[in-house]
């Protein structure tokens, strides 16, 4: 049993309130972070056991994941990402991914999901509208000719311990993931700013809300008078703005999934 699971008498009242908010809100925004992926077994970055908490072969992980380091040391970059990003086929969507997909299918989530995660588990669960704030490992591109490559083409190369190069021009291939020193995709950021500004309810799921500018998006909901619900193991600096706070994602979404059974 999760150490964050709440006592039933406390949880039951809160989850009834959340379900009421979900049923009465017209525009719901969803923001997901690494905590959602950890339920599927994927290591998170900044949590208690996050990969940022200790160096990798005496190198700071944030340095390895920087734009300049990628080009100067692609061998080290791909050796690290092979362990973390290129075995995503081994992981499966969990109760949060699956429930969010059901909520979209039933018309509760009309704006889809905005995620900091690059593991494309939301899509594999069936979500149709997924806005990837930090990019995705689903695809890569040539840094010279922009040739497009799917995950299934690149993962086997990286898993063999090799650096992927373009088969058209021979240049280095980069995953379509936002590295340190790069800007977030502007079209996704603008879409997010619009959705979170107009939302009457925002769900923050499994995010420490420490990576900016993405972490600033839920603040727009509070600023414009909407309600915010946070489901995250640790406290965040936006807890003070939350209408409801839950600590256990699995407990919360198991309950929501049960409520969804009532909707035809």
Distance CA 232, CA 248 (A): 7
Task: Give the active site residue among 49, 87, 97, 134.
Answer: 134
User: Is 134 an active-site residue?
Assistant: yes
Give residues with Cβ within 8 angstroms of 140, minimum separation 6: 148, 149, 150, 151, 153, 154, 164, 173, 174, 175, 176
| Residue 193 neighbours by CB under 8 Å, 6+ apart | 217, 220
For the CA atoms of 20, 23, 26, 29, the dihedral, rounded to the nearest 10 degrees, stands at 80
Rounded Cα gap, residues 153 and 176, in angstroms: 14
How remote is the C-alpha of 189 from its chain's centroid? Answer: 14
Q: How many CB atoms lie within 10 A of CB 27?
A: 17
Looking up tokens 């080009």 gives 71
249 token code pair: 């994602």
| Among the listed residues 195, 191, 193, 200, the one whose alpha carbon sits nearest the alpha carbon of residue 229 | 200
As annotated, the active-site residues are 134
């Amino acid at each position: 049993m999760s150490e964050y699971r709440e006592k039933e008498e406390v949880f039951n009242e809160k989850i009834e309130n959340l379900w009421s908010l979900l049923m009465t809100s017209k525009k719901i925004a969803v923001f997901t972070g690494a905590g959602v992926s950890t339920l599927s077994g994927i290591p998170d970055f900044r949590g208690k056991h996050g990969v940022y908490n200790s160096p990798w072969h005496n190198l700071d992980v944030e340095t390895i994941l920087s734009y300049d380091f990628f080009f100067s040391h692609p061998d080290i970059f791909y050796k690290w990402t092979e362990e973390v990003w290129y075995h995503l086929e081994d992981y499966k969507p969990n109760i949060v991914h699956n429930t969010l997909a059901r909520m979209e299918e039933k018309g509760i989530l009309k704006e889809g999901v905005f995620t900091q995660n690059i593991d494309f588990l939301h899509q594999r669960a069936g979500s149709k509208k997924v806005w990837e704030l930090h990019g995705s490992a689903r695809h890569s591109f040539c840094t010279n000719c922009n040739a497009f490559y799917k995950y299934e083409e690149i993962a086997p190369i990286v898993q063999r311990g090799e650096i992927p190069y373009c088969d058209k021009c021979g240049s280095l291939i980069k995953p379509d993931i936002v590295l340190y020193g790069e800007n977030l995709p502007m079209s996704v950021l603008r879409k997010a700013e619009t959705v979170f500004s107009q939302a009457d309810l925002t769900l923050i799921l499994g995010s420490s809300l420490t990576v900016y500018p993405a972490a600033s998006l839920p603040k727009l909901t509070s600023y414009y008078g909407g309600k915010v619900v946070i489901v995250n193991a640790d406290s965040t600096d936006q807890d003070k703005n939350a209408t409801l706070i839950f600590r256990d994602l699995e407990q919360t979404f198991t309950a929501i999934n049960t409520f969804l059974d009532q909707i035809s």
